[in-house]
Every structure is written in structure tokens, then in C-alpha cells.
Amino acid sequence: MAKPLYERSKTARNMLERANGILGFRITDIMFEGSEEELKATHVTQPAIFLHSVVLALCSGLERPDMVAGHSLGEFSALVVAGAMSFEDGLRLVAIRASEMQQCCTAVPGTMAAVIGLPDEDVEMVCEGCGGIVVPANYNCSGQVVISGETDAVREACEKLKAAGAKRALLLSVGGAFHSPLMEPARKELGKAIQATSIRTPDCPVYQNVTARPTTDPAAIKRNLLAQLTHPVLWTPTVRNMIADGADRFLEIGPGTVLQGLIRRIGGAGLSIEGISE
């Protein structure tokens, strides 16, 4: 992750070395040479994805965006790119978020599952009828919802969803039940950190996960960042609202191409959709 950029760009190298100092360990060693198991640890995964995305965005000579959005963790990257917070502050918040979420995962084991081929309302209804905690966590595109919660409850929901006609209901290889009530204990420390962080008026509207609507209000940005912990990611309405507000070119920045596929399914033909993932 980001090794070619580190090797060729002095700016990228300086940013990543600053990140090593802020985090207190050489995350670049894991990003460049670490095992998949090491990289999947929540306290590594989240800062690594944030760093890869932000360094790419700030070192690629991109034109100023008209609007930005990020999926879950990606919202922090989007806020840095939009000028709402500094690179250093964004990384500190992501590190605290990852640490607190990891503690939640250890305290109450949970998981997530991808559900394909059912209307959102059907997924919601099935989750409500299950024992234990299981809720929709990511509204990714029409016919694709990720659910999250206690492991047994998610397994029960998967069986019921398949019986209800879902094409697939597959458990995901994740560290815990993100964007569910199981993340509630993380709110205290993350809330303190967010309140202590300087959030500026961004250079362009930011479409946040919990509302799917644009904002440039620093106070609203702070509230929504914290609410995101236990609130579903409203990606489908986010993309639809961006298109309604004039977006016709989308650029995904960071590892992978998942969001490009989701945007194609949401927006259909006529959009320019690209990615930078070096």
C-alpha cells in the first residue's frame, strides 16, 4: 500500500513518515511489507486506508473537487481533501476511532454480512424480527445492504433473509459489528477527540454518511462524524443526491475499486467514473 508513491514522491514520503511519528509505530512497514493478518488488525487497517487515500489525493495533482463524500472511514479522508481538517488531525482521529472500535470488538464479538437481492425494506423487516442485535449498517446500492450486529443474530438474519428470497447473505471477514449499537462504547472517547479537533469550513460541500446530504457547517460535521459510529452508511442516497446536485464525474481515491462499482449501479449510464489506487 502506497509504496510506489513513497518511493517516487518526496511529499508522500514526508507525509507517511510524519504518520509513523504520530501513530508511534512504523505503519509504513506493515503497509509495504506486512502480512495480510497484520494489515487486517483494526488499529492498522483504518489508519492505513486513510493514509493511502489522503496521500494519493494530495500528491496526485488533482483539480479541486466540487463536492466530496467518503464511505464510512473514507469520510475522514474526504474531510481532509476538502480542507475541513488537517492531515495530522485526521490521522489522530482515525487512530482513536480505530482503537476505540477495536475495544468494542473485543468486548462484544460481532460480525457483518452482505445481503444481495432484496429491497432495503425487506432487509430492515427481517433484522427487526431477529433475536439479539442486528441492524442494516451499509446501504451500498439498490439490492445490496450490509447488516451488522451480534454474531448469532447476524447468522440468524442471514438464514431468514435467504428464506425471504435474498440471492446471497454472506458473512464478511471483518473485525466486528461496525455501524451498529455494539459500537456505542466508543462514542465517549471519540466524541472528546472530535470536539477537541479544529474543524474548518470545507472548500466544498461534504456529503456525510448519516444524512446523505451536503454540509459545510463545522458543527454539523462534528455531530455527524460521531453519529456515524452507530448509524448506517447511507451511500445509495448520498450518491443519488450528489448526482441530483450536478455531479457527473466521480473519482474514487484509495485502495480498491468497490465504490466505482456501487456508483455505476446507483447512477447508471452517463456518468464518468474513474479511480486512483496506486
Residues 6+ apart with CB under 8 A from 249: 271, 272, 273, 274
Q: Which of 43, 52, 71, 179 is catalytic?
A: 179
Yes or no: say if 115 and 144 are a contact pair by the CB < 8 Å rule: yes
Query: Could you say which of 72, 99, 173, 231 is catalytic?
Result: 72
* Residue 60 a catalytic site member: no
DSSP state of 92: H
* Cα distance between residue 107 and residue 181, in whole Å: 13
As a whole number of angstroms, the distance between CA 146 and CA 140 comes to 7
Instruction: Please report the sign of the dihedral spanned by the C-alpha atoms of residue 139, residue 53, residue 43, residue 210.
Output: negative
180 is catalytic: no
Classify the C-alpha dihedral 24-72-256-57 as positive or negative.
Answer: negative
Q: How far is Cα 95 from Cα 10, in angstroms, rounded to an integer?
A: 24
**Residues labelled catalytic:** 72, 179
